[in-house]
Amino acid sequence: MEAACISAELCPSSFVFSSPFRDSFAERPLGSSSKSAATEWKLARQRMTPPRAATAVQPRQLSMESIQAWQWRYQGNEDLDGRKDTLRSRSVASTSGGEEAQPASVSQDALEKGAGGPEDQRLQTPAHLPKPLSTNQSNINRTGQLRVAYQGAAGAYSEAAAYDAFPGCEAVPCEQFDAAFQAVELWLVDRAVLPIENSLGGSIHRNYDLLMRHRLYIVGEVNFPVNHCLLALPGVRKEDLKRVLSHPQALAQTEGYLSALGVIREAAADTAGSAQLIAQEGWTDAGAIASRRAGEIYGLDVLAEGVQDEADNVTRFLMLARDQHIPRLGVPYKTSIVFTLEEAPGALFKALAVFSLRDINLTKIESRPQRAKPLQVVQDLRNQTSTKAFQFLFYIDFMASMAEERAQNALRHLQEIAPFLRVLGSYPMDTRPL
């Protein structure tokens, strides 16, 4: 099928194939018509069972130092050899769990502090990390698995979504969302899978902002059913709990249940991380909202299952890559865009009309503050006044492929109204039954 690119600005980078896995999602049965296959999908996803290879060794979040070394070497500095032994022995000491080599988790701190150099005392290169990549290498690990970054600890829903999106992949935990974006940009991993919205909790605003800040493409989506459990240390009863820890989204999704329980809610970086913390600290007054699998990993009991406020609780995850997915025709597609508008009466109405005129269905609209330019002076000529208006970025998902003429025409039309327009990706819709 022909690739569609309506203008160089809308599709800024050329279509480059760098990984044999780029179409792995598209090749999966989308919206399988067989009832038994559909039921099997559903059950497998609800169990959230990663491939056997992934359960054998639990990934652990490693230190920021390994990433600094990666980043520094990736930028073309190759003179680490003289320090290799020191670095290696230090890293062994810092990861002395006695286990086998584990996937590195990427910390935001590591990425933000930037590359050091041989003089940088923080540099460490864990011995098990594969060789740094050059731009003409693909970052496929030694066993040929695709490496997929996600935010959180092992047992997080994001990890399960990563396995769901890329069956057989190696899921790489990251401390923050930003770290997952950067891990892809730095070629430490091939893809990232990140939550963008939840049917109960709404949008994950942080990831909208990061989509704009980074230059990755959306190459697919996964709608993942989230079935929350209340977890606690063995022997602890519901009545013993004074507080419950979890990711803010998970706390929002179980708001009614936790209010009835009368516990204090404490926000944590991710659901599985809170289960891990309770196990590590031996807290008998605290419970965690997390997956059943997180309970199994960290040795916590399931006190209650399905504690989300509505039985249908679905989180939509985006699959991100360095290269665009080439849009096709013949299967359901979504396209995600972000644009700005000049402050004027009816500006948003006109922008949305470009889709309705062509019978294109919108599935999502989100507005976020334009952080670089949050305010704009607006003259009201009729009343001879001027005020300051908030400036927004509008994110829209619509149901069409960029290979379709109507989508190309809609965006050409939008470009006439919008001072800034970027296509974040055109990708196959997840039409599997939930």
Ligand X SMILES: O=C(O)C(=O)C[C@]1(C(=O)O)C=C[C@@H](O)C=C1
CB atoms within 10 A of CB 429: 18
289 binds ligand X (CB under 6 A): no
Element housing 349 (H / E): helix 347-356
If the CB atoms of residues 160 and 188 are measured against ligand X, the closer one turns out to be 160
- Asked if 315 is an active-site residue, the reply is yes
Q: Is 223 in the site for ligand X (CB under 6 A)?
A: no
Name the active-site residue from 21, 181, 224, 317: 317
Nearer to ligand X, 190 or 270 (CB): 270
| Conformation bin of residue 359: beta by default, left when phi > 0, alpha when psi is -120 to 50 | left
- Structural tokens at position 354: 């470009």
* Selected range binding ligand X among 60-68, 154-162, 168-176, 327-335, rule: CB under 6 A: 154-162
Binding window for ligand X (CB under 6 A); candidates: 106-114, 120-128, 182-190, 267-275: 267-275
Binding of ligand X at residue 171 (CB under 6 A)?
Answer: no
The one among 272, 337, 403, 411 contacting ligand X by CB under 6 A: 272
Q: Are 294 and 272 in contact (CB under 8 A)?
A: yes
Known catalytic membership, residue 317: yes
CA pair distance 386, 364, nearest whole angstrom: 32
Among 146, 148, 193, 226, binds ligand X (CB under 6 A): 226
End-to-end CA separation in angstroms for the chain = 29
The whole-angstrom separation of Cα 290 and Cα 397 is 29
Q: Which of 123, 204, 231, 410 is the binder for ligand X (CB under 6 A)?
A: 204
Residue 39, C-beta contacts closer than 8 angstroms, at least 6 positions apart: none
State how far the Cα of 371 lies from the Cα of 43, in Å rounded to an integer.
42
Catalytic residue among 315, 335, 339, 398: 315
Query: Toward ligand X, which CB reaches closer, 44 or 127?
Result: 44
Contacts of 249 (CB under 8 A, 6+ apart): 195, 198, 201, 204, 315
Please say which residue, 185 or 270, places its beta carbon nearer to ligand X: 270
95 binding ligand X? (CB under 6 A):
no
**Closer Cβ to ligand X, 198 or 401, answer by number:** 198
Residue 102 found at the interface with ligand X (CB under 6 A): no
400 makes contact with ligand X (CB under 6 A): no
Residue 50, interface with ligand X (CB under 6 A)? no
61 makes contact with ligand X (CB under 6 A): no
Site for ligand X in 310-349 (CB under 6 A): 315
- Closer residue to ligand X in complex, CB, 10/180: 180
According to CB under 6 A, which one of 22, 73, 247, 265 is a site residue for ligand X?
Answer: 247
CB distance 119 to 69 below 8 Å:
no
Residues, the chain: 434
Q: C-beta of 149: minimal distance to ligand X in Å?
A: 12
How far, in whole angstroms, is CA 13 from its chain's centroid? 22
CB 193 within 8 A of CB 165: yes
Q: Work out whether strand 421-428 and strand 314-321 pair parallel, antiparallel, or are unpaired.
A: unpaired
DSSP-H helix ranges across 99-242: 108-113, 157-165, 177-185, 205-213
What is the spatial distance between Cα 143 and Cα 139, in angstroms, rounded to a whole number? Answer: 11
- Token pair recorded at residue 371: 């952080």
Task: Determine the interface stretch with ligand X among 103-111, 231-239, 269-277, 424-432 (rule: CB under 6 A).
Answer: 269-277
Q: How many CB atoms lie within 10 A of CB 398?
A: 23
Residue 107 C-beta: closest distance to ligand X, Å: 16
* Contact set for ligand X, span 378-397 (CB under 6 A): none
Shortest Å, Cβ 84 to ligand X: 35
Residue 360 CB, shortest distance to ligand X, in Å, is 28
List residues with catalytic annotation.
315, 317
Residues that bind ligand X (CB under 6 A): 152, 156-158, 195, 198, 204, 226, 247, 249-250, 270-272, 315
